Amino acid sequence: MPTVCTVVGARPNYMKAGPLHAELRGLGLRQVLVHTGQHYGDAMSGVFFRQLGLPEPDHHLGVGSGSHAETTGRVMAAFERVLLADPPDLVVVVGDVDSTLAAALTARKLHIPVAHVEAGLRSFDETMPEEINRRLTDSLANLLFASEPSAMGNLRREGVDMDRARLTGDVMLESLDRHLESIRCACAAREHGVEPGGYALCTIHRPHNVDTPEALTEILNLLEMVEGPILLPLHPRTKNRLAAFDLDGRLAAIRHVRPVEPLPYLGFLDLMRSCRLLLSDSGSVQAEASWFDAPCLICRENTERPVYVEEGTTTLVGRDPDKLAGALRAVEAGTYKRSTPRVRELGRGVARSMAEGVAAFLGL
């Protein structure tokens, strides 16, 4: 039976890999799971494996954090040893983190085919390292699984052989749907001392928002504008920058903001389900918030997931206080846009479609 090796490295990868891993298991394929360790520790990694039902990784590369070049190089060196010892018939990579590109490049140099989950997404902003990772990974991959129609259009414009591409839908949404009962049984809001529907949820971590004191100060100014309690799960990067720029006192002075530790998958989804609005710079949050029909204000000037602006609840506000104020007025007035049925459709049958693509490629 053919062997499929799936590579994950950061927390957004885990929930995307989970449904596909389950579908491939149903086909009877031998599976090898590799965790690069780009994100590590229980809060950023271990708890996700337990909640998503993923098995313990067969290989944990333990690369840790570092610059983009350091992370990419460490993953390539360690992953090459895994592939040489036990060559799979296909390597599956997920998303757009440094581990994604590193694993794809290593596999292809060893003449091992690659499938890319979330192929074709483009922000057209090359200051984002993820944009570089996405484009290069797609150029290497033998199978391209696109999560939304715009991604197929991007691949077509880039001259990709579209026989390699398949519009599968968004596996993030399918993962959410598979865990909906567990989410409904949670009570994360009251555990954090807030009432369902009476708080905002904020996640900020991207370099362009936190890597300079000026940008991070502008983010704090935006938080001041949002009324009522705000739960702020602090990404390690953001926490470190607040301390480095001597801005942690400034955050503490915003009395209605409640910093908390990074949250497990199900707890975060439960908070998203019952929040009044989200303020974030995340990509995946745009999909999840649109599924829950939660107003989602994104502190970016662009998005690689335009379907959630067009059909979902995402609005791009950047760090512009006027744009944020306008969106907040719509939320308070009850006139903020709602998701269309198309959002739910993007989360149906995704892993099954990808597994069928893998099976066809492997001649099963």
Contact yes or no for 276/228 (Cβ under 8 A): yes
SS3 content of the chain, % helix, strand, coil (to 5): 50, 15, 35
Residues 155, 152: Cα–Cα separation, whole Å: 5
Token pair 């390597």 in the structure block, residue? 91
User: What DSSP character marks residue 164?
Assistant: G
Element (H, E) at 154: helix 149-157
Catalytic residue among 21, 35, 179, 205: 205
251 C-beta neighbours (distance < 10 Å), count: 18
CA 155 to chain centre: 20
Give one DSSP letter per residue of 25-53, joined into a string: HHTT-EEEEEE--SS-SIIIIIHHHHHHT
> Which residue, among 16, 17, 13, has the nearest Cα to 40 in the 3D structure?
13
Residues 144, 293: Cα–Cα separation, whole Å: 29
Residues 245, 352: Cα–Cα separation, whole Å: 47
Residues 273, 265: Cα–Cα separation, whole Å: 12
208 is catalytic: no
Asked whether the CA dihedral 362, 173, 178, 32 is positive or negative, the reply is positive
Write out the catalytic residue numbers: 205
